[in-house]
Amino acid sequence: MDTKKLGRQTVRLTSPPSIAGFGSAVGKKEGQGPLGRCFDFASQDDSFAEKSWEKAETAMQKQALSYALDKAGISSDQLDYVFAGDLLNQCIATSYSLRAQNAPFFGLYGACSTMAEGMSLAAMLVDGGFASYAAALTSSHFCSAERQYRNPLEYGGQKPPTAQWTTTGSGAVILSRKGTGPFITHVTTGKVVDKGITDANNMGAAMAPAAYATLHAHFEETGRSPDFYDLIVTGDLGSLGKEIVTDFFQRDGIDLRGRYDDCGVLLFDPTTQDVHAGGSGCGCSAVVLTGHLLREMRRGTYRNLLFCGTGALHSPTATMQGESIPGICHAVAITTEKGGAS
């Protein structure tokens, strides 16, 4: 029987889905960062005119999905599936954002890897002929995440230098069986990797081993080397996690410098914005991808991109019980070449 599998973790899509539309909505701080002009919408009010931070997150998702649908030229009624999730308990931001949409829905929790996870599953369904249009959608909000994972803002807790700033933002992507691209050609599904990190304020160190493992599997199973890609981007390890991944590959004799970056590093300006080790949250990689990277691909800046969503699969309960933090990373290969790059 023919198979699309390349090794244990990677799938080669024989009919690469086209990214027909993408949309982004961010908060005030993100709009003031180096990518501020790239986003479809940047609010001057992080409440998004809502009565709670959780409702604000739902509002962001609605905006991001609306922009993506408009660019794809379709309505939500034409979506065969939506893969979406967020950081909140029971993924409530997502459930409430989609209750007015007439679309079959799969709820996901991949922590900060949710965008890459959603794109992976949507791409495989479209490639397999099970959908004509499928969406991937996710979000995070600094204030809702602080309330759930750490302390309410009023507590005024101090953060160590290794901590990251949860992104207030939402990104959406619409995949189609037809279109001019960019196209998703390969998906490498990550495995859970846990190296015993227990510090919830050091997510970069917890997730970096998973990013390294997935990248290593992708290169081995596709036969590609890092220099095949114009850019390899993780999201979101921050500055510390990015340094760890770079060091891991240097020990293998591979220099990623010049073609590797991280969404948590790209989103904010560390010299003018106090974000410690960089950005984090489901929305971080989602808005960098939909606001910046895919725009640059359409402009011809990048031909081949490897988008690697990273997530820390823990909870406040597990952390308080002294559990370590499992990491995950999913890689999505994107190209501007119709029919897929070789």
Give the whole-angstrom CA distance, residue 57 versus residue 59: 5
Task: Give the mean pLDDT of 122-127.
Answer: 98
Q: Are 41 and 63 in contact (CB under 8 A)?
A: yes
Give the whole-angstrom CA distance, residue 133 versus residue 121: 12
Is the pLDDT at 158 greater than 80? The verdict is no
**Residues in CB range of 95: below 8 A, 6 or more apart:** 107
Q: Which of 139-148, 157-166, 172-181 has the highest mean pLDDT?
A: 172-181
Of the two residues 10 and 342, the one the predictor is more confident about is 10
Give the whole-angstrom CA distance, residue 308 versus residue 260: 11
What are the chain's domains?
5-176 (3.40.47.40), 183-335 (3.40.47.40)
Q: Report the pLDDT value the prediction gives residue 2, as an integer from 0 to 100.
A: 66
DSSP state at residue 228:
G
Is the pLDDT at 155 greater than 80? The verdict is no
pLDDT in tens, 277-298: 889 999 999 999 999 999 999 9
Write the DSSP assignment of 120-184 as a string of letters: HHHHHHHHTTS-SEEEEEEEE-HHHHHHHHS--GGG-----TT--EEP-EEEEEEEESSSS--EE
pLDDT bracket for residue 1 (50, 70, 90): very low
pLDDT in tens, 19-76: 999 999 999 999 999 999 999 999 999 999 999 999 999 999 999 999 999 999 999 9
Least confident of 103-112, 142-151, 174-183, 220-229: 142-151
Angle between helices 203-222 and 238-251 (to 10 degrees): 40
Is the pLDDT at 154 greater than 70? The verdict is no
